[in-house]
Chains A and B, each alone.
Chain A
Amino acid sequence: MEKKEQKRHQHKHSGPKADKKNRKKEQGTEPERDERKRNPRAFSVQSAVRMAKTFHRTQDIKTKKHHIPLVDRTPLEPPPVVVVVMGPPKVGKSTLIRCLIKNYTRQKLSDICGPVTIVSGKKRRLTFIECNNDINSMIDLAKVADLVLMLIDASFGFEMETFEFLNICQVHGFPRVMGVLTHLDTFKNNKTLSKTKKRLKHRFWTEVYQGAKLFYLSGMVYGEYQTQEVKNLGRFISVMKFRPLVWRTSHPYVVADRMEDLTDPEDIRLNPKCDRTVSLYGYLRGTFLKNKCQVHIPGVGDFSVADVSFLPDPCPLPEVIKKRALNVKERLLYAPMAGVGGLVYDKDAVYIDMPSGHGSQQQEEVRPTTELVQSLIGTQATLDAKMAASKVSLFTGTAALTPEEVQENEKQNPMESREWDERAQRERRRAVFADEDDDDDDDDDGDGEQESDEEEDEEEDDEEDEDEEGVTTLKKHDKTAAETAAPPVKKQKCEVPMEMPAFADSDDELEKSEEDESEEDESEEEEENEENEEMEEGEPAKKSSGPDSGLCSEDDDEDEEEDSDTDEDGDGTVKSKMSSKHPEEENIDTDDAEMGYETAGALRWKEDLAQKATEAYLRHQLAAPNLRKLVYGTVAEKEEDDSNDEEELGGLFKVNRPEKSKKVRADAMDCSRFQPDNSHDWDQEEMLASIRDCFVTGKWEEDKDAATLLKEDEELYGDFEDLETGQVHKAKTGNKDQAEGGNDDEINGDDDDDEEEEAPQVKLDDDEVQKNKRLEKKRRLKERFDAQYDDGDATYFDDLKEEMQKQAELNRQEFEDVDDEIRVQYEGFRPGMYVRVEIPALPCEFVTNFDPHYPIILGGLGPSEGNVGYLQMRLKKHRWHNRILKTRDPLILSLGWRRFQTIPLYYIEDHNGRHRLLKYTPEHMHCGATIWGPITPQGTGFLAVQTVGGIKASFRIAATGVVLDLDKSVTIVKKLKLIGYPYKIFKNTSFIQGMFNTVLEVAKFEGASIRTVSGIKGQIKKALRTPPGAFRATFEDRLLMSDIVFLRSWYPASVPQLYNPVTSLLMPVGQKETWAGMRTLGQLKHDLGIRNKPNQDSLYKPVVRQVRHFNPLHIPKELQKALPFKNKPKQMQAKGKTPRDLQRPAVVREPHEKKVAALLDALSSVYAYKNKKARAEQHAKHKEFLKQKEKQEAERQKRMKEERKKTYRAMGQKEKKKLKSSLKGASKDN
């Protein structure tokens, strides 16, 4: 066989394959060159405008990143960070706090009650607060939280509270939020666990921000979270950074962690519902707190502070930072409301509540939920009973508590009932209650002895022992009672009381030393220790003397001024006087000193008090010059003197004489001019010379003198070479050095005699000097260079930042070295201080219904924020709240520190600036709202809820917004249409009545534009005499009597002046979330069962349709005539009956004819049948024929094809042969 030649490959030129190849080729061949280089023209500036635009845009983007720089006002020792642990109930909040506290301080706290402050690190303290599931607490805590730990039950998912809290946070400035997922151990399936985690995480991110931290706490071990996870969480908390929030940096606030009732027990006895004086303690945060300022306590109301004083920090940071980690002693824990506090300082006393912060002290014992003193005051017992109680208070740490106190606690906290809590801790507590009688006896005995005996230390020892024993026995009891439930750590607990006696001993030693002094002193000392005595006997004057008890106190100033009257400048004399006035000054100087004076060296630390006081006095004297006293010392005292020299006339009338001296003071001329000093005679030369330097022509200071400046310049730029002439100019350094050196090294010059001896050294010095000079020169040159070239680059932003930096520096330095007592007067109390705020006239419910689980916040108010006025705000209904809000329905707003109920009016601003009243808030849109409420700075955010009691709505936050404007008047108007009817119509003039009632009313509206319903515009012209209220009006067209005329007017709406602070903290314990204020109209109607009677016209009635009747169309004759024929109505006459003569007669056949006709009929039908049959046959035959024919044809075709095939084959063979033969022939030829 011959081999067939292979076909050549044909490249595809089209189709997908070819396209693909092309693409590949293109990409491969494209050079990787820079577009800019390859085609520079394309990148050249095409349009300057566009270039400018892009430049602007980049600059815009750049500057958008800037934040407005703020002065850094963070105090050197910041207050503890407020960590709010939030979440729905039963999610593990308390457990988490307990674990975190244990993680930081190695202590266990059973009942998280009130804020717990701990030292978490070398520079950081934390205050943990648990937020219960009450919207009031949530709102209050969102305002003070620095960090929110948001606990989420992963097994359940998010709950509404979480979202509500997030929204609250958002409104009041967003604190840091960290999510914590708990209950992760309920997931058995790993896949669902990870899926849930992911789902929750993403949801959390959308609510907070992308990448917000979400922590996972998997599983519990012995009722606690896993140590490692808690440790990690703790680490996160302790490195967290916080941003300043506007409201908080401009307002001082205190999260109270301790409360004392200072009311006189006698007053309470007389009237149990009398207003209370309360002191609240806590770290000051935010900004400076001024004494005697206004504060708002959310949930209670506005109060003015009677007195603020700072106390030593109960939970101080370690003083020296050198170690890597804190030791156990430095890990302090302070939670007075939970009954843990170490030393508790008051203004004028120190209470010892526990040995110290450290030690693995168990807190399971009975703890006073409120402070000791308060409870003792509240007892209203006899003196000796109080004495008994007081003695024990010293050793509360040993848990040997007085029975009264225990009872008190029970009375005060009915919540702490034992039924609902079956855990071991609670049970044990009950045991303490059961045994309390024994304890009671012990204490009483001890106290009685103490009173009578003088060897109290021994007695105390005994008593201590007894107490201790009691406790230990109690403990044993507990253990037996609750064996199984007790955690393993409890063994340590027994050790704790052992520490107490040691402490007590040390105390005793102290007392021993006193003992030697005198009896009296001792009793005094006793008094000091016993708080209740103190409270009882302490003179009110002592209490009221505030922090201004320093030298600047008023009485003292008076003295001082008298001093200065006699000899103004004599400092020495003042000093001498001071030494003579010693005791008094002590009395005034400090509170401690005050006590010290009374007891006269009762304690060792008081021994050198006099000396201390002297020192303090001197220090103060230096700090406070006379001018200060001149300004701030009171002048009022002097007035008293003048007031009582009135002489009587005849024993009946008093001569009322205007007194010159007083007039000068009280009714003097109000003029800012300062009359010149007469002693200055400006004609004299020396006087003129005394101000010579105030003018530019006078002598300048060394550093600013033109000559020195020039010299400096020369020094810097002196050396240069004139290139043209080749001359070298040298700065006269040598000379100058000598000149200046002469000044600087005076000693050198003086010691000329010894020069030979010290020559090498002098030379060395000289070198040194030279070197320094050079360095100095270089530095200055550099400075100048920097100033010249860097400044050009500095933007406004940089300058601003630098300015702020400088200000912050100044703020820090200005009062740095001033004594704290004085400093608080200048600055106010600075944030970070532990302050005691005394507030008078608090409602008694605040004390009687006190529940430490609810936060007490003292929010400072700025100037004029205590006033009330109209607030305009921008408001938007929350899109999750499922109902729109109605105007004049009361709403509870959280604005600033406050929560209050008020009645808003909603409005929208029209294009012309008119505020039009709305009946309801629009959906998905902002609207305005005006309320009567407390003046709050503009830009403050607020949120609104409809009720704070219970959960009725699915999402409680009804609206959010921001304050725009404050005013004392309202601008909202309501649309009002006045309607009238014409009663007489002339051409364009009509008389209208019914719109007004009197002529006066019309007169007021003269010239007003009116309109009819049909749209004819007009104007009121003039009132008519009768009927009253009718007027003449002109219109642009003639009216009809059926027209209605209306006048569109705007009527000012008034905002109801309701400002009702939510007093949820005053509610009884356990009912604090049930505060209900004014009810809305809807609620009222619902509650009272009132139903609105609807308008009769608005009711639906059955539709009755009447049959419509159309009249026939009537075309006038004239019109008919004019119409074309086509449209003319055709007036056809109805066809009448054909007349008789025209009617054709009916044919009646004969019988024969009938027959014939029937036959013909039959024949014709036979014929028709035959025909039909024949045609059908014919058709069938033809069909057959056609079939035959087709067959034949097919046959023929087939034959033909065969034939043709044959012939073609023959032809082909013939051809082949021919070709072959020709090839053969050719080959033959070859």
Chain B
Amino acid sequence: ILSQGTFEGCNCFRQRLVLSTLSGKRVKIRNIRSKDDNPGLRDFEASFIRLLDKVTNGTRIEINQTGTVLFYQPGLLYGGSVEHECNVQRSIGYYLEALLMLAPFMKTPLRAVLKGVTNDPTDPSVSVCPFISLSSKRRVLKRGMAPAGGGEVLFTCPVRRSMKPVHLTEPGKIKRIRGTAFSVRVSPQMANRIVDSARSILNKFIPDIYIYTDHMKGASSGKSPGFGLTLVAETVNGTFLGAEVVSTPQGQGDPVLPEDLGRNCAKLLLEEVYRGGCVDSTNQSLSLLYMTLGQQDVSKTLLGPLSPYTVEFLRHIRDFFQIMFKIEQQKPGEDEQKGGEKVLMTCVGAGYSNINKTIK
């Protein structure tokens, strides 16, 4: 219906731009919120485009007057030292997810300092974001909560020539749970209350739980108050499942009790465990991307049920790389008590190699 490389609407905006950058195919997105009262690209999307422009060289971006049509011709990924002021409408996780996909394929190792909102309820935060990824480093320098932001995250990632095929089919059993309860510009007691409530649920399963409390003060506490909890379950095979809940931003909806938040987060982690797989639901697309960009070998990954975002991502991978995944459903056994249905994703890599890296 639409010609190749043309899309409609701002859905999966990041996926399209990231895959376009990686595959070198130009992209045209039409009808971006064309029927909305406030048509065109939002500020956070503009900020995202600006970030892409910073890490690439030779990118051509054309946006029409109303901002409803975007033409994007990717350049080459450059990397290097980048500092970006992220828009506060979305958290840094929004930007970081895209950077994680691009970072290994830069010319020079990426060292990005992202400023803005570190935690908000919509996007995954820095600490949950990517646990499968290579030797990249993320560090929260300053924590900034939702409405006003003021946080800072340092992200570094080395570059690679090519990706190895991924084989993550055996998630293993969870051996320990770690987590961080954080609070900024509220009573430090909040964090402790969160920890207690979270433990009360998780202790039924495993004793090895340690939840750090992190109270940031002064300059490193950002501009808005808030608190939250991130939990990570680690399995014996070294895979991670994460969950995160953050308090509602100041002045947007009802305030949350820390006890409720702790419990919710614990339940969310249990939900993740129920879904299972080797990668948690937020990182499914990243793992699938790395499978796609591998050498021309068979990669396999066991995932939980595919999230709508991942489904979209799979379609986009087909559009950009002509790669289809073999999707096999694995029904749980009769007497096994290992949560819900799993999905085994298999694909043959695209034989992608980093064309940006310089050889000497």
Contact = CB atoms under 8 A, between A and B. Distances in A.
B126 to A, nearest CB: 14
Categorize the interface residue count of chain A: 35 or more
Interface string A928-939: 000000010111
Nearest to B44: A670
A738 B339 CA distance: 36
Nearest to A824: B324
B122 A673 contact: yes
Contacts of A73: 296-297
Contacts of A628: 326-327
B1 interface: yes
Contact of B358 (A691, A815, A825, A938): A938
Interface stretch (A477-485, A658-666, A949-957): A658-666
B260 interface: no
Chain A CB count within 10 A is highest, among B25, B35, B97, for: B35
A268 B139 CA distance: 65
Nearest to A294: B25
B205 A692 contact: yes
Q: Of residues B23, B75, B76, B336, which shows the largest number of chain A Cβ atoms within 10 Å of its Cβ?
A: B76
B152 to A, nearest CB: 22
A677 B274 CA distance: 10
B124 interface: yes
Interface in B279-336: 281-283, 285, 295-298, 306-311, 314-315, 318, 320-329, 336
A670 B14 contact: yes
B206 A697 contact: yes
Which of A293, A692, A938: most chain B CB closer than 10 A?
Answer: A938
Nearest to B207: A697
A825 B285 contact: no
A666 B10 contact: yes
A460 B323 CA distance: 50
A1136 B288 CA distance: 121
A688 B322 contact: no
A698 B24 contact: no
A863 B352 contact: yes
A935 B355 contact: yes
Given A674-B308, A688-B270, A290 B322 contact: yes
B347 A826 contact: yes
Nearest to B285: A672
A1100 interface: no
A867 interface: yes
A284 interface: no
Nearest to B9: A666
B289 to A, nearest CB: 12
Contacts of B24: 863-867, 935
Nearest to B93: A672
A659 B35 CA distance: 8
A546 B33 CA distance: 34
A657 B117 CA distance: 33
A695 B309 CA distance: 28
B359 interface: yes
Contacts of B282: 672-674
Contacts of A288: 296, 348
Contact of B355 (A292, A670, A938): A938
A73 B357 CA distance: 25
Contacts of B150: none
B356 A966 contact: yes
Contacts of B124: 672-673
B271 A250 contact: no
A671 B31 CA distance: 19
A810 B298 contact: yes
Contact of B274 (A625, A656, A680): A680
B327 A863 contact: no
Contact residues of A: prevailing secondary structure: loop
Most buried by B among A625, A665, A691, A966: A691
A827 B76 contact: no
B222 interface: no
Given A291-B322, A671-B123, A811-B298, A630 B311 contact: yes
A845 to B, nearest CB: 26
B250 interface: no
A863 B348 CA distance: 15
Nearest to B174: A695
Contact of B31 (A666, A807, A863): A666
A700 B339 CA distance: 14
A969 interface: yes
Contact of B296 (A287, A630, A665, A814): A287
Given A631-B315, A667-B9, A937-B355, A677 B271 contact: yes
Contact of B11 (A667, A696, A863, A938): A667
Interface string A809-846: 01100110000000001111000000000000000000
Contacts of A499: none
A291 B321 CA distance: 10
A682 interface: yes
A292 B322 contact: yes
A142 to B, nearest CB: 23
A671 B13 CA distance: 10
Contacts of A632: 314-315, 318, 324
B308 A827 contact: no
A1158 interface: no
B309 A671 contact: yes
A710 interface: no
A665 B32 CA distance: 12
18 contacts: A290-B323, A627-B327, A662-B35, A669-B122, A670-B15, A673-B309, A677-B271, A680-B274, A693-B336, A694-B273, A697-B207, A826-B348, A862-B350, A863-B24, A863-B352, A965-B358, A966-B356, A968-B76
Given A73-B297, A673-B307, A826-B346, 20 more contacts: A290-B322, A293-B322, A627-B343, A639-B8, A668-B11, A670-B13, A672-B123, A674-B281, A691-B274, A691-B339, A692-B205, A693-B338, A694-B338, A696-B174, A863-B350, A869-B58, A937-B355, A966-B355, A967-B76, A969-B58
Top 8 nearest A-B pairs by Cβ distance? A864-B24, A968-B58, A666-B9, A674-B307, A674-B281, A290-B322, A682-B267, A965-B358
